[in-house]
């Protein structure tokens, strides 16, 4: 499925197209989509198709089309602190975007049938945590993945605020899916499709991860990082910057104004004259401004400057022992 919007040259342009087509409608969802590059979840040899609005499958690895994920994210109505269960979690792409919205006090669990896909998802999650600047721009709820059949979850598991099932669910399993949901929660799933089956054919109850309580040390790290982010935002706002906010890319539309020729009729005689419009007075200035912008624009093959990770720079500048600095940075590589 997919093909609802035009392909993009990069992740930002794909999100622009999803917004224009009204698949992405809220700021939280837009920020999450921009923060994680879809291409990072593709195998290297298939990355050229990452920004097309198409599903991708290779062996057991599967990604739904961007228009599907954006509709799911909007339908879930995610908020910080909620609990989320992803049935058929796959590569972890959706779970990671959800984690950016849930924040450090949410719950983010995934169940995936294929063990090799679980390993792939863990690799991609580790790569995101170690290398992406978005990890420092957001308060992240790290997803936990378990292997198993989503129709065989232990009956004593906790219920969730939000549940998404990417695999097709037959009508007879609808009540089972609803039983995983808290009162007032939201369930998003496709109905009337072929259900999934376990690889071995044997029934085995899936034990979901426990709802762990964060340690005092971890809570202190979250609080310190939050305080530093507030300081950075205050400093950048006062200096006219945008701080840690992941600003959507703006596309400037150039408008060229036409010169207006006006003919005035006076009784039976024709009095031809050019009457200037207000825009004519600025037409030369507009052209000059456009020319200046083109002169300032970098050449097409020039690489854009890497964005600054303000949180990392601020932490590394603190008068603290190096082990404590690295702990505050979650021992990330960059």
User: Are 86 and 166 a contacting pair, CB within 8 Å?
Assistant: yes
**End-to-end Cα, the chain, rounded Å:** 36
Burial status of residue 314 (CB atoms within 10 A of its CB: 0-12, 13-18, 19 or more): middle
Chain centroid to Cα 300, Å, comes to 27
b/e string for 233-265 if b means 16 or more Cβ within 10 A?
Answer: beeeeeeeeebbebeeeeeeeeeeeeeeeeeee
Q: Which residues are part of the catalytic machinery?
A: 64
């Amino acid at each position: 499925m997919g093909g609802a919007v035009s392909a993009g040259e990069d992740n930002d342009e794909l999100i622009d197209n999803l917004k224009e087509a009204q698949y992405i409608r809220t700021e939280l969802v837009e920020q999450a989509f921009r923060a994680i590059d879809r291409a990072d979840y593709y195998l290297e040899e298939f990355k050229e198709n990452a920004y097309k609005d198409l599903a991708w499958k290779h062996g057991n690895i599967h990604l739904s089309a961007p228009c599907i994920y954006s509709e799911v994210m909007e339908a879930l109505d995610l908020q910080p602190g909620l609990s989320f269960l992803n049935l058929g979690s796959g590569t972890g792409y959706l779970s990671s975007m959800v984690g950016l919205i849930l924040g450090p006090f949410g719950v983010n669990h995934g169940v995936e049938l294929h063990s090799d896909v679980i390993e792939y998802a863990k690799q991609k999650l580790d790569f995101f945590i170690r290398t992406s600047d978005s990890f420092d721009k957001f308060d992240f709820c790290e997803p936990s993945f378990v292997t198993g059949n989503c129709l065989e979850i232990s009956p004593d598991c906790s219920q969730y605020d939000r549940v998404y099932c990417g695999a097709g669910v037959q009508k007879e399993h609808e009540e089972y899916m609803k039983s995983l949901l808290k009162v007032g929660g939201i369930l998003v799933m496709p109905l009337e499709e072929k259900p999934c089956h376990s690889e071995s054919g044997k029934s085995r109850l899936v034990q979901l991860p426990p709802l762990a309580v964060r340690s005092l040390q971890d809570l202190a790290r979250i609080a310190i990082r939050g305080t530093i982010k507030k300081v950075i935002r205050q400093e950048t706002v006062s200096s006219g910057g945008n701080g840690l906010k992941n600003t959507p890319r703006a596309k400037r539309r150039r408008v060229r104004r036409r010169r207006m020729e006006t003919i005035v009729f006076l009784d039976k005689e024709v009095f031809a004259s050019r009457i200037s419009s207000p825009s004519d007075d600025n037409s030369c200035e507009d052209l000059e401004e456009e020319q200046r912008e083109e002169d300032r624009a970098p050449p097409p093959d020039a690489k854009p400057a890497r964005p600054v990770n303000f949180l990392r720079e601020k932490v590394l500048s603190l008068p603290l022992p190096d082990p404590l600095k690295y702990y505050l940075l979650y021992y990330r590589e960059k």
